[in-house]
Amino acid sequence: MASATHLLTDELDIVIPTIRNLDFLEMWRPFLQPYHLIIVQDGDPSKTIKVPDGFDYELYNRNDINRILGPRSSCISFKDSACRCFGYMVSKKKYIFTIDDDCFVAQDPAGKPVNALEQHIKNLLSPSTPFFFNTLYDPYRDGADFVRGYPFSLREGVPTAVSHGLWLNIPDYDAPTQLVKPLERNTRFVDAVLTIPKGTLFPMCGMNLGFDRDLIGPAMYFGLMGDGQPIGRYDDMWAGWCIKTGLPYIYHSKASNPFVNLRKEYKGIFWQEEIIPFFQAAVLPKDCTTVQACYVELSKQVKEKLGKVDPYFDKLAEAMVTWIEAWDELNPTGPGAKLANGKAN
C-alpha cells in the first residue's frame, strides 16, 4: 500500500463506536495509526474490546459514561451507534473523524487505496461555497477554478464545518428500500467534491464523517436512539438536520438486517414527513450568538412544534438541553480551560 500523508495528527481525534473487536483497523493502519482514537463501546460493558497493537487510544464503555456524566448520562444513547457522540464530547481536538467498524478501505477506479481521512482533512481545510453553485464543483481543487459568471465577492467562500463521505458497495438505504433492492450495490466512484447549498437539507450519515469540532461540536448531538426509545437509525440524520441551516469514499462491507432496521425505522419513516418541514421552517433569533445558545433555542422549538407529533420529541428536547449542559461541563471556556484528552479508567 502506498505511503500515506498524515495531516493534523495533533489536531484530530478519530471516534469509533463499536460492540466488537476492532480488527478492521489493520486495513486502515497506514492511514489512521498516527492519530489518537476515541473508542465508545456500546452494549455490555463487561465485554473486552481488543484493539490492534500500535494504536494510541482511549476506550469508554457505559460504566465510564455513567461515571463521567452522572445523571446527565441519560442523554447518551445505549445499544445504538448514536453513542459515538460521547466521543465528540470528551475529545479536546479541533477536528473529528468518525467511522464505523464495518467500513473498509475503498479503491479508486485505478485500484489505488483511498485515504478517506486525508480527503476529509483537505475538505475541512478548504472553504465551502454554499451561496452560489460552481459548475466545476470544487473551485479550490488543483485544475479547477470559479467559472465565468461566478461573483467575485463570494469567491473567498466560508469555513467548512462538515465533510460528508460516501460509500462503495452497500448503499446507506432505509429498510423499505433494502427490502426491495437486496442485491443492489454502489460501484460508481465519482471523483468530485460539492458544497451542499445554503438552505438545503440532506440525510447525513455518521459512518464516514469529518467535522470541525471547534466550529459546530455542541450541535453534533445524535439524539436519543436505541434501547428504550421508539426510534433508531435516525441519529446521524437528526444531527445533520440540526447543523444544516462529496468525496471521500470508504467501502461499506456489511449490509444490516432490513427487518431489524424496519422495526427501528418505521416511526421515523412517518415522522420525517413532519421533521423535515420543521427544520426547513426553523428560524433562530439573532441574539443566539453561540452554538450552545442556538441549540437550546432549537430544543425549545422541537418541544413546541414536534412535541405535538409524539411525546418522544418532548423527551428528545429535554435531552438536547442535557447534552449542552454536559458538553459545557466537560468543555469549559476561558483561559487555560482547554485540557488534553483524558483517559477512561
Average pLDDT, the chain: 92
170 lies in some domain: yes
pLDDT-above-90 percentage for the chain: 86
How many domains in the chain? 1
- On the CB side of 197, CA atoms within 13 Å amount to 7
pLDDT of residue 264: 81
Is residue 240 scored above 70 in pLDDT?
yes
**Nearest in space to 170 (alpha carbons), one of 205, 200, 120:** 205
pLDDT above 80: residue 79: yes
Is residue 121 assigned to a domain?
A: yes
Assess if residue 337 is contained within a domain: no
151 versus 250: the higher-pLDDT residue is 151
In a domain, 30, yes or no: yes
The enclosing domain of 312 has a CATH number of: 3.90.550
pLDDT in tens, 28-58: 999 999 999 999 999 999 999 999 999 999 9
Region of poorest pLDDT, from 49-53, 265-269, 277-281: 265-269
Is 4 a residue whose pLDDT tops 70?
no
pLDDT tens digit sequence for 154-209: 999 999 999 999 999 999 999 999 999 999 999 999 999 999 999 999 999 999 99
* Whether residue 335 has pLDDT greater than 60: no
Residue 117 domain flag: yes
> What's the pTM value of the predicted model, to 2 decimals?
0.92
- What are the distances in angstroms from CA 281 to CA 29, 152, 235, 306? 44, 30, 21, 12
Residue 236 forms part of a structural domain: yes
How many angstroms separate the CA atoms of 127 and 91, rounded?
24
Indicate the pLDDT class of residue 345, thresholds 50, 70 and 90.
Answer: very low
For residues 249 and 200, give the distance between their C-alpha atoms in angstroms, rounded to a whole number: 22
CA of residue 192 relative to chain centroid, distance: 20
Task: Confirm whether 44 is domain-assigned.
Answer: yes
CA distance linking residue 39 with residue 21, whole number of Å:
11
Structural domain range at position 268 = 12-330
pLDDT score for 1: 45
Per-position DSSP letters for 3-70, written without gaps between them: PPP---TTTEEEEEEESS--TTHHHHHHHHTTSEEEEEE-S-TTSPPP--TT-EEEEE-HHHHHHHHG
Residue 222, in any domain of the structure: yes
> Does residue 340 surpass a pLDDT of 50?
yes
Mean local confidence (pLDDT), 95-99: 98
Q: What local confidence, expressed as pLDDT, does residue 2 receive? A: 47
Q: Which residue has the higher pLDDT, 269 or 70?
A: 70
